[in-house]
Every structure is written in structure tokens, then in C-alpha cells.
Amino acid sequence: MTSPAQRTISRRNLLLSIPALGLGAAASPRRIRAAQVAVQTFNGPMADAGEVYRPVTLPRKPGAKASMTDAQRDDLEHHIHCQCGCNLDVYTCRTTDFACSVSPAMHSDVMGLVAGGHSAQEILDAFTSVYGERVLMAPVRSGFNLLGYTVPFLALGTGAVVVAALMRRWKRTAVVAPAPTPAIHATEGELAALDAALKQDR
């Protein structure tokens, strides 16, 4: 606990610091910012379908019927990465960035595969064989990728072990301090009220 005497920020200082922060931001070097804006280029979204789109097809299964409902197909498209550079999945890209020509093309491939009777996993495999693993919104849970999924939990477990060891050390070194006998800043009346409260709560 920090006692009031140790605090260095008063109410006045806190209030004064707010406009001071604003002034500080305004005084940052404008020339550098202007230079950056001048050379920045738009990089990424909306590659043309002709550059990045590759057809994904599989032979239609005999007597094929649609392998999933529209809702299931939309859910599947959440797991396929649009290749236009937007960093979105096919479903989100085609339904929000309708200037993109890549996601509709990938969507029509998905619809063709669904109509051909292929399962969700077969469709994902087909896309992976054409585009590589980057077409999946999350890495496949096998091989090296397992590291991606497990390391956060391993790190947390390691942290827990370290914290437990530290706490055990602190516990060993802890000295049970005798109860302080602080100066009492209470009137007789307040003490009597406390006394009564304690008795009532007994």
C-alpha cells in the first residue's frame, strides 16, 4: 500500500497532465509524418482474380446431391482464406467487399464442389492441394503446426510452475509480523459504535 505521503501525483497534476499529453502529441515532428504519408502506397487488398485465382475442381460423384445446406456451406467458407490479399475468409470477403473478384470465383468453386457431393473435408483438401496450406484460415493440426496450438498452453503451464515455485519461496521467507498497534483516530462514540457492532455480529 502506498501512503498518501508517498504519492507524487495530486489531483491538480492529474488534470493538468491531460492537456499536456495533447500538446505533446501535437508537437510531434510533422515533417516526418508528412514524409511518410507522401511515400505510402496501397499494398495488399484486391488483387485481380486473373493474377491469383486458380480453379478448384473435382469430378462429380456418381448420383451426387448437394453435400450440405447453404448455412453449412457458408460456415465452410469461413475456413477458406480469400486470396485477394484482404486477410478475410471467402464468405466475409464476398459478402462485405463486393468489389473483390477473387472471393466470388472461390465461392463458385465451393458451390460446384458442394453440388458435386463432396464433403467439407474433401473440399478443404482440394483447395489446399491447389493453393497450398495458406488457403486455410487456421493451420492444420498436425506436425509442426501442433507447436502453434500447444505452445501458448505450454508457456502458461511453465509460467504456473515458475509462479508456484516463487510463491513457495516467498512463503518460506515470510515473517508473520505482529499485529501493528496503530494510532487510533476515532472518537469515543465511534469506538463504542464499533464495539456494539462487533457484539451484535457475534
Interacting residues with another protein between 5 and 24 (CB under 8 A): 5, 7, 9-11, 13-14
The DSSP element (H or E) to which 114 belongs, if any, is helix 102-115
195 near another protein, judged by CB under 8 A: yes
Please provide residue 199's backbone torsions phi and psi, each rounded to the nearest 5 degrees: -65, -40
- Name which position in 68, 111, 112, 139 contacts another protein (CB under 8 A): 139
Using alpha carbons only, give the angle 139, 142, 147 rounded to the nearest 5 degrees: 75
Nearer to another protein, 62 or 152 (CB): 152
Please provide residue 80's backbone torsions phi and psi, each rounded to the nearest 5 degrees: -110, 130
Site for another protein in 111-130 (CB under 8 A): none
178 CB contacts (<8 Å, ≥6 apart)?
none
176 near another protein, judged by CB under 8 A: yes
d(CA 4, CA 65): 75
77 near another protein, judged by CB under 8 A: no
Site for another protein in 34-73 (CB under 8 A): 36, 39-46
148 near another protein, judged by CB under 8 A: yes
